[in-house]
Amino acid sequence: MKYRRSALALVVALVVSASVGLVAQKDKKQDEAQKKEIQNIVKIVDGIAAGQPTPGDLSLTWVREDVLKAQGNKQYLPFTVSIDSSKVAGPNVALYWRVVPRSEPEAAPAAGQKKDEKKDNKKKPDYAYEDISFVPVVAGQSSMHISRSFTVPAGTYDVFVVAKEPTPDKAPKNAPPPKMSIMKQAVMVPDFWNGELNTSTVIVAQRIDPLPAPLTPQQQVDRPYALGAMEILPAFDTKFTKKSELSTFMLIYNPKVDSANKPDVSVEYNFCQVAAGNEPKAGEPCKSGEKFFNKTNPQNLNAQTLPPQFDLAAGHQLQTGQAVPLASFPEGQYRLEIKVTDKIANKTLIRDISFSVSAS
């Protein structure tokens, strides 16, 4: 099967630093309207977290999240939500997100011991991350995707997201309240710092573009899929036509290295077509209910194929990705199995993606 490699060098000095959060933004000059909006939204989220009803005027929906390795024993999560922007009356919408660790239920007081409610009330909220952004709305759009990010240690979190029309300074008498939607999404964040073979999320991309220059901090907030010297435009679904191509991108973490500090990793791409009643043949990668369709040549990432200057200790990232034309794929449902083998450590892991192909 023919494919083309991503238009990116295998040496990627990808350093994902911590996202700029709300605390940092408070040190910047903000107009009074935005400050009031932030206060209003934070109060609203506090109420929702305490069990108040959740409004849904703007049809806020969680679309996807991806996980990559960041600095300082943390992980970087760009995520995307969608809203019904046709319902937004103003030129922009406020988007707020708060990331809260999921904690174990609080232990009951010991026999004869009373709970100190005054002490509990003085506890500061334990947020792993919070931020707010004011996003321009394009007139005439019925649906709008917004991507933002956060950076947290490994763990399980609840992400509260609010999309809200700005509150006018002087609202007309008896005017309806600003429209808004609030949602909560559970997210499990793996640990990429434990030394074990692992990978980032497999990102299915509409396209991957080189960046001529580094982004400013504000540009990075607005474009969280800009990673080092490239920017990924993620696909928001995996329904393709035969005229499309399936483009994937993934980073491989913690491979073992040889005496020259070079890894020896192979990556196999196998395509299985979902077909009820089929059983895979011996030696094929497919599961029950699938039949093997095709595969591409394995990618070998080692001292012979990597550039001489490649050095994981210097921050270079081991990446894999392919862009596979779908013209030869019969219509139907598929699963792409990506098998990563660390030959030095003698370890293997598998990532997969489900997608469909139609005539048009």
Q: What is the CATH number of the domain that holds 131?
A: 2.60.40.150
Write down the pLDDT at residue 162. 94
Write down the pLDDT at residue 149. 96
Q: Are residues 160 and 288 in the same domain?
A: no
Q: Are residues 140 and 265 in the same domain?
A: no
Q: Are residues 243 and 348 in the same domain?
A: yes
Q: Are residues 349 and 236 in the same domain?
A: yes
* Average pLDDT of span 137-144: 83
Q: Are residues 210 and 108 in the same domain?
A: no
pTM recorded for the entire structure: 0.85
Domain membership of residue 345 (yes or no) is yes
Question: Mean pLDDT: which of 20-24, 200-204, 306-310 is highest?
Answer: 200-204
Domain membership of residue 20 (yes or no) is no
User: Which pairing describes strands 129-136 and 299-301: parallel, antiparallel, or unpaired?
Assistant: unpaired
Write down the pLDDT at residue 23. 43
Give the percent of the chain with pLDDT over 70: 84
Q: Are residues 181 and 272 in the same domain?
A: no
Q: Are residues 39 and 174 in the same domain?
A: yes
Q: pLDDT tens digits, residue range 307-342?
A: 999 998 888 899 999 999 999 999 999 999 999 999
- The number of folded domains in the chain is 2
Q: Are residues 8 and 36 in the same domain?
A: no
More reliable by pLDDT, 37 or 232: 232
Indicate the residue among 168, 189, 210 that finishes a domain: 189
Q: Are residues 182 and 313 in the same domain?
A: no
Domain membership of residue 353 (yes or no) is yes
Write down the pLDDT at residue 354. 96
Least confident of 69-78, 113-122, 329-338: 113-122
Give the confidence band of 124 by pLDDT, cuts at 50, 70, 90: low
109 lies in which domain range? 31-189
**What whole-number distance in Å separates Cα of residue 81 and Cα of residue 138?**
16
Q: pLDDT tens digits, residue range 272-284?
A: 999 877 777 777 8
Give the confidence band of 106 by pLDDT, cuts at 50, 70, 90: very low
Rounded to the nearest integer, the mean pLDDT of the chain is: 85
